[in-house]
Amino acid sequence: MPTLGRSTAHTLVPRTDCVGMGCYPQVMCGRYNINDMPSLDELRIILPLLEEIFTPARRFNVAPGTSIPAVFLPDPEAPPQLDLLWWGYRPEWAGDNAPQPINAKAETVATSRYFKGAFSRHRCLVPANGWYEWITTDHGKQPHYITRTDNRQLWFAGIWARRADDKLGCAIITEPARGPARDVHDRMPLCLTDDSLSLWLDPDLSDRETIRRVVKHVEADVLTHWPVSQRIGNVKNDDASLIEPVSP
């Protein structure tokens, strides 16, 4: 189960990803892809009440500081909807000059003043097919693509909040890397099982320990990774070749 609100021995040096007009502090590299979104009918098998407000386009190089598809409840009485959120979290009360992290650590998201309100009331799901991380080698940094061995959809756990600029901004929750993902980085997105998705969105669930008990992350052995092109480092590149294996 995910370690929500419990510290670990992992120590991290935050990095910053700068895209467009903003810089986004992070503890996991800020790139993922969503190139094969299930149909609405397929999604409703696991999220029966889902409303599709936005049909996602194929994107192989999703970066911070852009609008990303997510499933969330716009208010507690509404059904879950698939719509766009801004990838950069900053609660309205924090003001325009506050940090806008793209990630929140599972160990502290439920207790941090910056995140705990959203964790209790505004949780979301970010669909993905995989994500990218960089490994330092003797020849420089080599990007790797991490995905499922069975090619099934990944669901990143996230939180969202209305920002002072009126955007709905979100952050992806990360946890200590497990299984093959540890080869690449010490953190990974918190990827939820299909039977945890509705529970994660449930507005009646707000207690950290209850959420910890009922929400499950995918087994680590379903993940795999391989080296990919350096072209992923440029956000202007967005095509299928970015996820194809290359010789490191």
Respond yes or no: is residue 244 known to be catalytic. no
> Is 153 buried (19+), middle (13-18) or exposed (0-12) by CB count in 10 A?
middle
Catalytic residue from among 124, 133, 170, 175:
133
- Cα separations (Å) of 122 from 42, 72, 143, 169? 24, 8, 32, 11
Catalytic residue from among 29, 124, 170, 191:
29
What is the identity of the amino acid at 5?
G
Respond yes or no: is residue 133 known to be catalytic. yes
Cα–Cα distance, 3 to 56 (Å, whole number): 30
Catalytic positions are 29, 133
